[in-house]
């Protein structure tokens, strides 16, 4: 049994996430977690809300609530939506937790001891209109590298170049839009990433199986221009982790907090501590996942995230871990994704454009969305959500292929035999199907192991199609007229295929999978290592029920209504 540690990029607290956010990290991470649990592996799947920084402060101010109260409320909202989408986190934590405060300060102390933190007097942008220093991401302007007009002061989303606010052309406040900005002097702490460049370069070179998207972004930051730069890790804000060395005050840093991009990745580790506390576990229980001197040396650690998060997780966070000199588990595989665009434009949280997770669940159950998003995951390039494609995919894949198969075979058995598996032998057609499915299941497993999301979905659909083609070719409704015993064997195969499909499909569509298992009156979710044995799991006489329709088709009227409803800006 393997041990798999899985983390997905932690979502900002400021509002409900859209479908592009979901497919960029949390949903494929859940797919991989569910698959590995299904194979009998021990899994720790962690996520959390990212609660510090200006986004949280501004969102709380807009809601007219204290920031701590706002964050607690939104954590509850995001946790509930994640549950309803079937995201099977072992723990969904909070970066504002006491565990993360303590661990962030611990890492800062270790980095200081190693000589990897320096104090810098720097110039920071102050907005007179807003009456505050502006963090990097709340200054917008034109990128000097690519000309993108909405580049942020920390990074250009268009070309991913790391920036400082003073690099921007025609800078303005992203809060008020004011250009009445003044550069003032302040002191901050910098992480000396440049001293770790060679270590990081060698570490990335050792990851030969990483996606090209991941390594190309990391290498670009390491080698383009002036190479890897030291990075500020503190900010002049009220809300965040207070700047301390371990538990001691840091002279000259009073009233400052750690930069959200320093403390947020550390929450991956702290989240395990939160899990331990919530489940009455010991430190040893979570340390066996995260410390190589406490048992984590045999853990496979996989991260999932969108391409905009890659630089911080391949460079800054690893620099924190390497620089600490402590035996923390480092990521083994970082699966990154391109962007999912929306109906001719872009999903945008800030502009409220696209379908958001709560809205999606208001109109259709989670499995509809899970299937479409995973089967169209933006792995090798950006992909696009359109309502026409969504309707076609749901209707053809879920309703016509899988749902229709389940409905046809259960109703036919009930009408001609009973609501129990009939007693009939398997013949040549059944043995040929078993051989074909054995090959396909092994291919499905290989794609899932490699985290090839779209290929996994394509293979799963082909497995569903194979069952439909088997029914069409054997036609038990015709065979029944002249050879009821032969038809009984065909129906027995069909009913066993339902359980078989439920197990294989659970990572993609867990709710429908549970319905299929319930209809087949079984709790047997054993993985089909032996396909022939799996297709004999339900013996003759085993009772079942005919389930309700698994997936209703999306009508043209519904599609047109939803397309119109979601064409505007979210309030």
Burial code (b: 16+ CB inside 10 Å, e: under 16) for 1-35 equals eebbbbbbbbbbbbbbbbbbbbbbbbbbbbbbbbb
Task: Give the annotated binding-site residues for Zn(2+).
Answer: 143, 146, 156, 159
Identify the CATH number of the domain in which residue 406 sits. Answer: 1.10.730.10
| Rounded Cα gap, residues 254 and 237, in angstroms | 11
CA 509 – CA 492 distance, rounded (Å): 24
User: Which residue in 409, 385, 387, 377 sits closest to 550, CA to CA?
Assistant: 409
Q: Count of domains in the chain?
A: 1
Q: What DSSP state is assigned to residue 483?
A: -
Binding residue numbers? 143, 146, 156, 159, 349
Q: Does the global pTM surpass 0.85? A: yes
Report yes or no on 414 lying in a domain. Answer: yes
Whole-number pLDDT of residue 237 = 85
d(CA 191, CA 119): 9
Instruction: Domain of residue 412: give its range.
Output: 387-534
Domain-embedded: residue 301: no
Which residue has 């964050």 as its token pair? 71
Place of tokens 């299929």: 516
| 490 within a domain of the structure (yes/no) | yes
Return d(Cα 430, Cα 487) in angstroms, integer.
12
Q: Residue 120: inside a domain, yes or no?
A: no
For the chain, helix, strand, coil in percent to 5 are 50, 15, 35
Which token pair is 460? 């799963």
Dist CA 302 CA 299 (whole Å): 10
CB 25 within 8 A of CB 305: yes
Residue 418 lies in a domain: yes
Decide if 461 is inside a domain: yes
Handedness of CA 563, 567, 570, 571 (dihedral sign): negative
Q: Is residue 410 part of a domain?
A: yes
Query: Which residue ranges are tagged as binding site for ATP?
Result: 349
Helix axes 260-278, 283-290, angle to 10 degrees: 130
Query: Whole-angstrom Cα distance, residue 297 to residue 291?
Result: 8
- φ, ψ of residue 126 to 5 degrees: the values are -115, 130
> Which residues of the chain fall short of a pLDDT of 50?
570-571
Gap between the Cα atoms of 49 and 72, Å rounded: 10
Let me know: does 51 contact 75? Beta carbons within 8 Å.
Answer: yes
Residue 78 φ/ψ, nearest 5 degrees: -65, -35
Measure the CA–CA gap between 169 and 232, rounded to whole angstroms: 21
Is 491 within a domain?
yes
């Amino acid at each position: 049994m393997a041990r798999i540690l899985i983390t997905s990029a932690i979502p900002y607290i400021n509002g409900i996430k859209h479908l592009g956010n979901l497919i960029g990290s949390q949903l494929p991470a859940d797919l991989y977690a569910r698959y590995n649990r299904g194979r009998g592996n021990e899994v720790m799947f962690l996520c959390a809300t990212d609660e510090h920084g200006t986004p949280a402060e501004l969102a709380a101010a807009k809601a007219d609530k204290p920031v701590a109260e706002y964050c607690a409320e939104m954590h509850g909202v995001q946790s509930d939506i994640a549950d309803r989408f079937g995201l099977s986190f072992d723990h969904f934590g909070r970066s504002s937790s006491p565990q993360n405060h303590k661990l962030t300060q611990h890492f800062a102390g270790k980095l200081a001891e190693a000589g990897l933190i320096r104090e810098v007097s720097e110039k920071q942008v102050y907005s007179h209109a807003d009456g505050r220093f502006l963090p990097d991401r709340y200054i917008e302007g034109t990128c000097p590298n690519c000309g993108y007009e909405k580049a942020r002061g920390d990074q250009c989303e268009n070309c991913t170049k790391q920036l400082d606010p003073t690099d921007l052309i025609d800078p303005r406040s992203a809060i008020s839009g004011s250009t009445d900005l003044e550069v003032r002097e302040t002191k901050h702490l910098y992480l000396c990433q440049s001293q770790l460049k060679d270590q990081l370069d060698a570490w990335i070179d050792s990851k030969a199986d990483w996606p090209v998207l991941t390594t190309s972004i990391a290498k670009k930051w390491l080698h383009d221009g002036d190479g890897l730069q030291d990075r500020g890790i503190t900010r002049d804000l009220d809300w965040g982790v207070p700047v301390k060395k371990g538990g001691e005050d840091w002279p000259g840093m009073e009233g400052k907090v750690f930069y959200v991009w320093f403390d947020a990745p550390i929450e991956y580790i702290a989240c395990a501590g939160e899990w331990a506390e919530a489940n009455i576990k010991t430190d040893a229980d979570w340390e066996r996942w995260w410390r190589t001197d406490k048992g984590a040396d045999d853990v496979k650690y996989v991260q999932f995230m969108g391409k905009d998060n890659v630089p911080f997780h391949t460079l800054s966070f690893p620099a924190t871990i390497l620089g600490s000199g402590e035996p923390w588990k480092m990521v083994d595989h970082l699966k990154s994704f391109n962007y999912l665009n929306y109906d001719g434009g872009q999903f945008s949280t800030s502009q409220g454009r696209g379908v958001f997770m709560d809205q999606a669940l208001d109109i259709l159950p989670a499995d509809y969305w899970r299937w479409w998003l995973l089967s169209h995951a933006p792995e090798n390039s950006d992909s696009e959500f359109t309502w026409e494609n969504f309707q076609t995919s749901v209707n053809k894949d879920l309703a016509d292929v899988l749902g229709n198969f389940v409905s046809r075979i259960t109703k036919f058995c009930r009408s001609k035999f009973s609501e129990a598996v009939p007693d009939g032998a398997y013949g040549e057609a059944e043995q040929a199907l078993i051989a074909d499915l054995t090959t396909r299941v092994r291919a499905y497993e290989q794609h899932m192991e490699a985290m090839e999301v779209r290929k996994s979905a394509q293979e799963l659909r082909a497995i569903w199609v194979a069952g439909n083609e088997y029914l069409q070719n054997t036609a038990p409704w015709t065979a029944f007229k002249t050879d009821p015993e032969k038809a009984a064997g065909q129906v027995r195969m069909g009913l066993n295929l339902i359980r078989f499909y439920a197990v294989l499909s659970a990572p993609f569509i867990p709710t429908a999978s549970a319905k299929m298992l319930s209809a087949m009156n079984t709790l047997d979710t054993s993985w089909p290592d032996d396909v022939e044995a799996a297709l004999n799991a339900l013996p003759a006489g085993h009772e079942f029920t005919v389930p309700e329709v698994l997936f209703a088709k999306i009508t043209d009227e519904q599609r047109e209504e939803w397309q119109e409803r979601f064409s505007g800006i979210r309030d």
